[in-house]
Amino acid sequence: MKRARTEEAKDARRQVLLDAALDEFFERGFTAARTHDIAERAGLSKGTLYLYFDSKEALFSELIESLTSPNLARIDEIAATSPSALDAIDRFTGFASHLVRTSDLPRLMKVLIGDSQHFPETMKRYREEVLERVLGAIGSVLEAAKSRGEIVVGDPHLTARLVIAPVLFSGIWQAMFGADPKAQVDLEALFGEHARLLRRGMETADVRDGDHA
């Protein structure tokens, strides 16, 4: 196979390898997956794979980065531009349903959970750079809103964990049962209900009174 010459061609080949790696990791698990099989699935040689990634671990780390980075940027944007915490909740839960339904993040979650004991440093980095970043963004929005008297919550950063808990559960559900038509869930309705419960739990008395005025 010809070597990719342009940056666009190199990026395309890198993406083919990442896609093949996710399929292989999802089907076989990180530990059992072999770089030879990943390269073969991508239609490339093992030597070509090593031109882009010097190890299976490096390939896995970039796979995590490629799947999470754009979504982290979107969450940061929601946190920075929402006019209120309740608006941020609505936008976040709407985005969450899109992530679970259309992205590869649920499949990545299955790999991470299934083989986490085999790459503790990668898991630590994932927790620090992905999960804690999301929790921090949501917690900061809630903390600022609480200080303004906009919402009523106890610990904003613990509440942030309650905000994302159904997202994580739905991602796991999708990864495990997504192929079964009988296990399908209306994610828009689910996260709409989640947002409604969160709003009602956080609204101040003035907001509640206004709802019934």
Q: Which fold has domain 57-204?
A: Tetracycline Repressor; domain 2 (1.10.357)
Contact between 153 and 138 (Cβ < 8 Å): no
What does the alpha-carbon distance between residue 108 and residue 19 come to, in Å, rounded to a whole number?
A: 11
pLDDT recorded at residue 205: 54
- The mean pLDDT values, 10 residues at a time, for the chain of 213 residues are 71 94 94 94 94 93 93 94 93 92 92 88 90 95 94 95 94 92 93 93 65 44
Write down the architecture of domain 1-54 according to CATH.
Orthogonal Bundle (1.10)
Q: CATH 1.10.357.10 spans which residues of the chain?
A: 57-204
Contact between 106 and 175 (Cβ < 8 Å): yes
Q: Where are the alpha helices (DSSP H) in the chain?
A: 7-28, 35-41, 46-52, 56-81, 85-102, 105-115, 120-126, 132-147, 156-177, 187-202, 205-211
Q: Please choose, from the candidates 68, 70, 74, the residue with its C-alpha nearest in 3D space to the C-alpha of residue 111.
A: 68
Strand partners, 151: 203
pLDDT recorded at residue 45: 93
Residue 131, CA distances (Å) to 17, 20, 45, 164 in order: 25, 25, 35, 10
Q: CATH 1.10.10.60 spans which residues of the chain?
A: 1-54
What does the alpha-carbon distance between residue 61 and residue 51 come to, in Å, rounded to a whole number?
A: 16
What does the alpha-carbon distance between residue 145 and residue 85 come to, in Å, rounded to a whole number?
A: 6
pLDDT recorded at residue 119: 85
Residue 68, CA distances (Å) to 22, 51, 112, 155, 204 in order: 13, 23, 13, 27, 34
Q: Please choose, from the candidates 79, 67, 72, the residue with its C-alpha nearest in 3D space to the C-alpha of residue 25.
A: 67
Q: Please choose, from the candidates 97, 30, 107, the residue with its C-alpha nearest in 3D space to the C-alpha of residue 66.
A: 107
pLDDT recorded at residue 213: 39
pLDDT recorded at residue 198: 93
What does the alpha-carbon distance between residue 33 and residue 22 come to, in Å, rounded to a whole number?
A: 10
pTM for the full predicted model:
0.84
pLDDT recorded at residue 206: 55
Residue 112, CA distances (Å) to 100, 123, 125 in order: 16, 7, 12
